[in-house]
A and B are shown apart, each in its own frame.
Chain A
Amino acid sequence: MVPVLLILLPLITGLVSFFMKGENGGKAWALASSILTLLVALGGIFLYNQPAHLTYDTSWLTSVGSRFSVGMDGMGKMLCLLTAVSFPIIFLATSKNNYKDSGSFYALMLLTQAGLTGVFVATDCLLFYFFWELALIPVYFLCSKWGGEKRIAVTFKFFIYTFIGSLLMLVGILYLYFQTPAHSFAIKDFYALQLSSEQQNCIFWLMFIAFAIKMPIFPFHTWQPDAYEQSPTATTMVLSGIMVKMGIFAVVRWLVPIFPEATKYYSHFIVVLSVIGMIYASLIAIKQDDIKRLIAYSSIAHIGLMAAAIFAGNAIGLKGVMVQMFNHGINVIGLWIVANAIEQQLGTRKFSELGGLAQKAPTLAILLVIMAFANIALPLTNAFVGEFLMFNGLFQFNVYVTAVAGISIILGAVYTLNMVQKIFYGNTVIATENAKEISGNVQLALVVLTVMIIVLGVYPQPLINLTNDTVKAIISVH
């Protein structure tokens, strides 16, 4: 029942929110809803976590052979937790942002949450596809309506990109469906498939392209920086904090176990693509003059490492991916919160127009520095654990690739520290002269994130234990 609640709560509160009028309509409602969801998630994952509570199955599309069946394994729990934790923080941190027609804005945000949670818990492939799209469509409306100047064209590109991906995935799903002996979409029937290598090599790509676009992996990434830049920041946080995890998640859940041979066969190719993406994105990030674009490119680099570690195909790398999925979500949301706080207060995101902010807003500076350290995976921050495990896995896969990928760590330090320096140090400029300290809400959100960053950096074992069962299951079929 827990997964169903996690989907239904945001879905229903979201639909209600459409009817909330007024300037701040839906704001408090959405926050309350997301906190309630968080409580359910915490309760479900840590207290009532017997299998009977975590799965639910009922008939839905009898004539298609699809059932409404959801369940949580370790990875599902972890990502549901990430989703449930992120939304209240996002709502809290952006509570000073004003939106025209805000009832609809929060409604769409909550619908996105329902879609995302659904993706992470679906154990029926068609249901998974439904949620995959349900997560996308509200985001399309969010970005197109409340985004920046170029929002319509940029969001459309993003939508078409991902929509082509999803349709190709649908073809793949259909093919697999007709291969199952009992004609069903259930995950266990998909896992039981014994496909020939020819079949695997062909269908693998149909599914992989969808996931690669979502992550995004080089060369499917071109929609991403523009979309992150033009989206309203609250949506960008969802996009980069949680939605990109959909791609990673889907590879681990729906690709590797179904196409073990093809995964092995193409692993070198994909690892090389990912590493190219890491270096390429890091180099571009160095040249950026806009906080949002810098974080976007840095995100591509981090995702590239996760993709490479999955296809390295060993347990330690996969453990790293699991940990990092959660940690990257938190860290990148922290960075966006800082970016949003700066933009809201000073009206600019350009480094060339910023400087000396540390004198005016020391708390913000301290918190950003911690986020920045986490972004470059300094030891004692949470990201270090994940990156260390992933590099370890990659090292076992191929030494040379690891060496090249390692350059991105240095490049990451270059662009992140450069950002910190340009925004916070030096002399104050016109924009930052009258800057004030950040508001209590934002501070609270950032402090929560900081605590999580440090606790998970010092004691990551619970997170690793949580996802152990998934890692074992995936590696056993590999």
Chain B
Amino acid sequence: MNAIILSALLGVVMMFSGIVIKSKHAIVSTALVCLVILLLGNLCDTYGCFSISMDLHEMLAFNKFGQFFNTIAITATLLYVLLSGKDIVKVGNYPAEYFALIFFVLCGVSILSAFNNLLMMFLGIEILSIPLYILTGSDKKNLKSNEASLKYFLMGAFSTGLMLMGIALLYGATGSFGIEAPVARQLSNGVQQRAPILEVIGLIFVFVSLLFKVSAAPFHFWTPDVYDGAPSVFTSFMATIVKAAGFIAFIHLFEGRADEMESIWKMLLVLTIVATLLIGNVTAVFQQSVKRMLAYSSIAQAGFMLFALYSRNDMAKEGILLYAVAYSIATVGIFAILIKMKDYTFDGYNGLAKTQPLLAAANTVFLLSLAGIPLTAGFFAKYWMLASVMKAGGSSAIWLIVIAVIFAAVSVYYYFRVIQAMYFKEGNAETTEEISQGFKIGLLIMSAIIIILGVFPDALLQWFYF
């Protein structure tokens, strides 16, 4: 509960801090302090030393998993602001508001990690999405940013509509907004009664709308345009923390409900996973701009995260946490470097190893992690996902895994193009500004986290089970 209340309050604080604090630098510092407070608040909650509680009529249910995910999301945001704070305030004239919106997004994230009721899920998704529509359009004088914002809003509204429709159908079929499947469906002879068709359709609607949110194929069309059009700093936030939250909601809801869809579920899910991996990876290969490549790669990574829905076991839950950390940190880092680049194309990175050796080295670690090379966190993230599918078994499991690893090999192609440009091609990659020491230290810390998790993933997981 701490995280929800604190993030909402601190969001308001940030909003009004713009009136009092005029220096842009001070606003970033305020945001950092607020994030640390939020993080501490959430940690207090996790370890039970102080938590706000009230009667919620079982609308929200707090558990370790959700709170741990909050910690991850807040820490990732903290690292993100630490690295890119200076670039956030550069986007427009009202920097305090951007931070306020980021806090509201975090509020949505914490609701999504704890909902116990379909309406709360809807609320969480909306609280998360609306600030994002604004952030996407925050570069007001840029036509592309405006277009992206409108596109995102229309698509988002459409998927929200679908979700509401689905929730209504579910309510109609079961008479409850609870996320657990109705219990009283055992017949007297012990045979499970089939779920009514209304409920199955409702679930499919919710499934589709969530696929929209996590940009899985075939509902991914908004992603490249929005990610490309939005100011790069906010793309970084959208593609990482927000996306991971979408998956948490996804797993939370379908963990108990998927079985009601019986064979339809596996079929829909396998098709979605394969389509997402195919479209994300293959399209990313043909991109010329690193930013657009990252947009497609985020679709491809979503394909991998969807495996957690296929297996739905303990390993999948651990895996999604690892994935959230590995993917968020790496992507935040890559975007932070991208923002500093003058030219967003692959050629713009030519020779970066010579002009900025540290940036190139950190970027390499992040890219290797995204590609899932051993000794980086990304490897274990992918490993956990694949192992969870293997553990869940089923006749299609091994073929699904083989398809997944082939696409993982395809992903090496586009991630390594950046590495090739940085190290092996002649050129003079230019950055837009002088790179500060603080930025370099931030990158070093993040690379260190990636490598430590790549050698001792238990460090994170043991914390989860402490």
**Interface on A for B, CB 8 Å cutoff?**
61-64, 129-130, 133-134, 137, 141, 144-145, 151-152, 156, 159-160, 163-164, 167-168, 170-171, 174-175, 177-178, 202, 206
A170 B405 Cβ-Cβ under 8 A: yes
**Bound complex: CA A409 to CA B86 (Å):** 69
A134 B375 Cβ-Cβ under 8 A: yes
B458 A160 Cβ-Cβ under 8 A: no
Closest chain B residue to A65, Cβ basis:
B387
B461 A63 Cβ-Cβ under 8 A: yes
Kindly list 11 other residue pairs between chains A and B, CB separation below 8 angstroms, not including A160-B412, A163-B409.
Answer: A63-B458, A64-B383, A134-B375, A144-B420, A145-B424, A152-B425, A164-B406, A167-B406, A171-B386, A174-B401, A175-B390
**Bound complex: CA A151 to CA B424 (Å):** 9
Mask, B398-434, CB within 8 Å of A = 1, is: 1001100110110011001000100111000000000
A164 B409 Cβ-Cβ under 8 A: yes
Question: Which residues of A have CB within 8 Å of B420?
Answer: 144, 152, 156
The contact of B373 among A61, A63, A137, A171, by CB within 8 Å, is A137
Which 3 residue pairs are nearest across A and B when measured between Cβ atoms? A167-B405, A133-B374, A164-B409
**Bound complex: CA A134 to CA B386 (Å):** 21
For residue B457, CB closer than 8 A to chain A, the reply is yes
**Bound complex: CA A137 to CA B458 (Å):** 24
Closest chain A residue to B407, Cβ basis:
A167
Question: Which residues of A have CB within 8 Å of B402?
Answer: 168, 171, 206
For residue B391, CB closer than 8 A to chain A, the reply is yes
Mask, B353-370, CB within 8 Å of A = 1, is: 000000000000000100
A178 B409 Cβ-Cβ under 8 A: no
The contact of A61 among B386, B390, B457, by CB within 8 Å, is B457
Mask, B124-150, CB within 8 Å of A = 1, is: 000000000000000000000000000
Question: Which residues of A have CB within 8 Å of B401?
Answer: 171, 174
B374 A129 Cβ-Cβ under 8 A: yes
Q: How far is the CB of A110 from chain B (nearest CB, A)?
A: 16
**Bound complex: CA A156 to CA B371 (Å):** 14
**Bound complex: CA A370 to CA B38 (Å):** 73
Cβ contacts A to B, 9 pairs, < 8 Å: A63-B462, A64-B383, A130-B375, A133-B374, A134-B375, A137-B368, A137-B373, A144-B420, A171-B401
**Bound complex: CA A63 to CA B315 (Å):** 10
Closest chain B residue to A130, Cβ basis:
B374
The contact of B387 among A145, A156, A174, by CB within 8 Å, is A174
Closest chain B residue to A137, Cβ basis:
B373
Closest chain B residue to A179, Cβ basis:
B390
A63 B405 Cβ-Cβ under 8 A: no
**Bound complex: CA A151 to CA B412 (Å):** 17
The contact of A152 among B386, B424, B461, by CB within 8 Å, is B424
Q: How far is the CB of A429 from chain B (nearest CB, A)?
A: 34
Question: Which residues of B have CB within 8 Å of A145?
Answer: 423-424
**Bound complex: CA A159 to CA B368 (Å):** 13
**Bound complex: CA A178 to CA B311 (Å):** 14
B409 A167 Cβ-Cβ under 8 A: yes
**Bound complex: CA A267 to CA B97 (Å):** 69
A163 B412 Cβ-Cβ under 8 A: yes
**Bound complex: CA A312 to CA B413 (Å):** 38
Question: Which residues of A have CB within 8 Å of B424?
Answer: 144-145, 151-152
B423 A141 Cβ-Cβ under 8 A: yes
**Bound complex: CA A152 to CA B418 (Å):** 12
Known contacts A152-B424, A159-B416, A178-B391; is A62 also within 8 Å of B458 by CB?
yes
Closest chain B residue to A132, Cβ basis:
B374
Mask, B150-175, CB within 8 Å of A = 1, is: 00000000000000000000000000
The contact of A134 among B374, B383, B412, B413, by CB within 8 Å, is B374
Closest chain B residue to A178, Cβ basis:
B390
A174 B416 Cβ-Cβ under 8 A: no
Closest chain B residue to A203, Cβ basis:
B398
B412 A159 Cβ-Cβ under 8 A: yes
Question: Which residues of A have CB within 8 Å of B409?
Answer: 160, 163-164, 167
Question: Which residues of A have CB within 8 Å of B386?
Answer: 170-171, 174
**Bound complex: CA A168 to CA B374 (Å):** 14
Q: How far is the CB of A128 from chain B (nearest CB, A)?
A: 11
Question: Which residues of B have CB within 8 Å of A206?
Answer: 402
**Bound complex: CA A134 to CA B318 (Å):** 25
Q: How far is the CB of A166 from chain B (nearest CB, A)?
A: 9
Question: Which residues of B have CB within 8 Å of A63?
Answer: 318, 457-458, 461-462
Q: How far is the CB of A151 from chain B (nearest CB, A)?
A: 7
Question: Which residues of A have CB within 8 Å of B387?
Answer: 64, 174, 177-178
